[in-house]
A and B are shown apart, each in its own frame.
Chain A
Amino acid sequence: MQPVAATKTTLVTGSYPPAVCGVGDYTTCLARHLVRAVVWTRRAPGLAADACPVVEAFDEAGVRALCARIARERPRLLHLQYEAALYAPSIAGRLPAACRRAGVPLVTTFHSLDGPKAWGHSRRLALLPLLLGSDAVVVCAGRPFRALSRIPALAGKTHLIPVGSTVPATPRRGTAAAEAPGVPLRMAYFGFVWPGRGLETAVRALAAAHAAASPTGATLTLIGEVRDPAHAAELIHLARTLGVEGRVAFTGSLSAPEVSHHLADADVALLPYPTGVSTGRTTLMAALDHGLPVVTTSAPGGGLDARFRDGENMLLAPAGDADAFARETARAATDAGLRARLSAGASRLAREFSWERIAEEIARVYYGVGRGR
């Protein structure tokens, strides 16, 4: 599909490949699907050729330099990819003011609603100037969308646009190979390995699936960077206790093609999000894009996206209920027909979150902002 034509846009990101960062990957995919989009970022060794380094770093001096550049070049539209850790806190106040002075419409995608660490408990307050000063606000998941929509000044200009997969899919392993006798069921988790990701739940689910899928059993590959070795050690210990030690493997940090290779090789994805599945999860989108049957969690307070259907395109267990998650995993492990249905459902669902659609929705936001001026 052709890239989406939009107003000539300047995407601003504090991180861009080769840096390993979800915001950089998101910006890369978005820029590739928008016509006439340029990327402004900070200078870095080995920076991808399609990005334009405009500052040394997004520190105070870098933010001032960015504002000066906006005044000088007056881009048609500026789209900031915001994540607090990537910029000096002053960007929240300076950038909207600079855009206003230069007559440049500002769209901000909030990749999280956490403000700068330095602001401590009032860190979300630091975002207010950016939220109020942006002509349009984009969030990727239902929960922040509902939170911002309750604020009268933001309700009309906040848009919910999901993320897509940032791991280009490679063809999946053939069913014949997957179902060959003696081959264990291969399960995969994708994401950082650190506390708070529900990985204990995944290991418990492995033990349940391993017992249920006798005699070949099951394996679990944890795909992604180990951010906390202590947590990895705890998981190894838990696996030993549950009798599945040799069946858990860690890949460590991998490139996107390597991640894709592992996902393509898996039979089931385990994504036990402690706060529930949402349209803002790039790891979910990667699993769906690879046509993987997904076992995941529904958020405690409800608000599940209507496109996520239990038993049709994923299996859902209540977040925080490890036993229910293990039961659903065992069900997927023992029922090849269910896995085939979920796989087909996942592939259909993935098309809803293609980058072409995302770029189209973003372009509509740009158009609305331009028309409002």
Chain B
Amino acid sequence: MSVLVLPSHRPPLDPGPRADFLLLAERLGGRVLYPARIGAAGSAEARVGADVRQALAAARARDTALYVSLSERVGLPLALLLRRRRGGDRAAPHVLVAHRLTSRAKRFLHSKTGVFGDFARIVVLCHSQARAAIEEYGVPPPRVVRLWDAVDTAWWSAADSLPRAPAAPPIVVSVGREGRDFVTLLAALRTLPEVRGVLVTGSPWSRAGSADLPPLPAGVETRSGLPASELRALYVRASVAVVPLRPDCAHAAGSNALLEAMAAGLPVVATRTPGLADYLWDGTNCRAVCAAGSPGALADVVRDTLRDGRALGARAAGLARVGFSLERYVRDLERVAREALAER
């Protein structure tokens, strides 16, 4: 009997932060089942196909004591496939790490299938998603566990151990794409001609392009598919990181970008949304902008942070190191998995 850990992507080949799923599998004495390779330019259909094939392979794996799905993309099809086992051969408990329960597609799927009731534990990364699981989907509260998101702080803080070398003109960096409010960010950057803006709009495993971005003002460039080592070098040269979010973001979009920048000792300006609010302590680890969609307010806070953000960055790096490490996250997730196992 073994534990099957199902990540949503393969580890990048470039040197970079450690992968949570490898650490988790090691701690649980389990094995990792990866999705099929679809290449960098894979279409949305190809990606769905890869997720379903991964779920099928997992459902066929016999002698599984516990499934741990690290995203809904594999977790939901697998839960539906495991229903076919119910009856004679009872399915093993299934733990889902859910990132965004509140999308329209998932609401529809749950209304037709009640799939969120199938999980032994649903791990969410912010309070608003926990509320959605309990109040909207009727999942019993003991089965919903809120954990703090994490990044490999040891790896990202290596940037902090180098002398910070802010470029001139100062760089304002924004990393990530999901739920981002680029309209407001770009409008704010238009009023800050003294800075250079760099928008990193896709990760190595999710090479979303920048085609549908609003027109870029002078001094702003976009990058996509940046390897982690280059991103870390960018954090060293940048002066401020911005996480601009749409006000209706009810999931923890931007948490990874926030935590990476914190770990790298870079002061962060972020929009306070229902999802990210759990991670924002204004003046302690970031400057939180309440008025989403207000370029003037965002520009003012970025300007202030450019002037005196050094102490904020150092404070945030300390908090990231002790509070948001990958080790802590994996330990917490292991505890949840063992609880689910014990109830088998």
Q: Quick check: B319 and A45 within 8 Å, CB to CB? A: no
Q: Quick check: A59 and B342 within 8 Å, CB to CB? A: yes
Known: A57-B65, A230-B278. A250 touches B322 (CB 8 A): yes
Q: Quick check: A250 and B342 within 8 Å, CB to CB? A: no
Q: Which of A118, A236, A251 has the most CB of B within 10 A?
A: A236
State how many residues of chain A have any CB contact under 8 Å with chain B.
36
Q: Quick check: A57 and B315 within 8 Å, CB to CB? A: no
**Secondary structure class of chain B's binding surface, majority of residues:** helix
* Cβ-closest chain A residue relative to B332: A227
* Cβ-closest chain B residue relative to A15: B338
Q: Quick check: B324 and A229 within 8 Å, CB to CB? A: yes
Q: How far is the CB of B31 from chain A (nearest CB, A)?
A: 13
State the CA gap A241–B322 with chains docked (Å).
21
Q: Which of B283, B285, B322, B342 has the most CB of A within 10 A?
A: B342
Q: Which of A59, A89, A252 has the most CB of B within 10 A?
A: A59
The answer, yes or no, to whether A242 is at the interface (CB within 8 Å) is no
Known: A118-B142, A229-B324, A237-B283. A60 touches B331 (CB 8 A): no
The answer, yes or no, to whether A253 is at the interface (CB within 8 Å) is yes
The answer, yes or no, to whether B341 is at the interface (CB within 8 Å) is yes
Known: A45-B26, A57-B65. A236 touches B325 (CB 8 A): no
Contact of B339 among A20, A85, A120 (CB under 8 A): A85
Q: Quick check: A232 and B331 within 8 Å, CB to CB? A: no
Q: Quick check: B342 and A252 within 8 Å, CB to CB? A: no
Q: Quick check: B342 and A57 within 8 Å, CB to CB? A: yes
Residues of chain B within 8 A (CB-CB) of A360 are: none
Residues of chain A within 8 A (CB-CB) of B344 are: 59-61, 88
Known: A117-B142, A118-B142, A226-B328. A87 touches B342 (CB 8 A): yes
* Cβ-closest chain A residue relative to B259: A229
* Cβ-closest chain B residue relative to A237: B284
The answer, yes or no, to whether B323 is at the interface (CB within 8 Å) is yes
Would you give 10 A-B contacts (Cβ < 8 Å), ordered by A? A43-B29, A85-B335, A87-B342, A120-B142, A227-B328, A229-B324, A230-B281, A232-B319, A252-B321, A253-B327
- 16 more CB-based (< 8 A) A-B contacts, given A45-B29, A57-B338: A20-B331, A57-B342, A59-B342, A59-B343, A60-B344, A229-B148, A229-B322, A232-B322, A234-B281, A236-B284, A236-B319, A237-B281, A237-B284, A240-B283, A250-B322, A250-B323
Q: Which chain A residues have a beta carbon within 8 Å of chain B's beta carbons?
A: 20, 43-45, 56-61, 85-89, 117-118, 120, 193, 225-230, 232-234, 236-237, 240, 245, 250-253
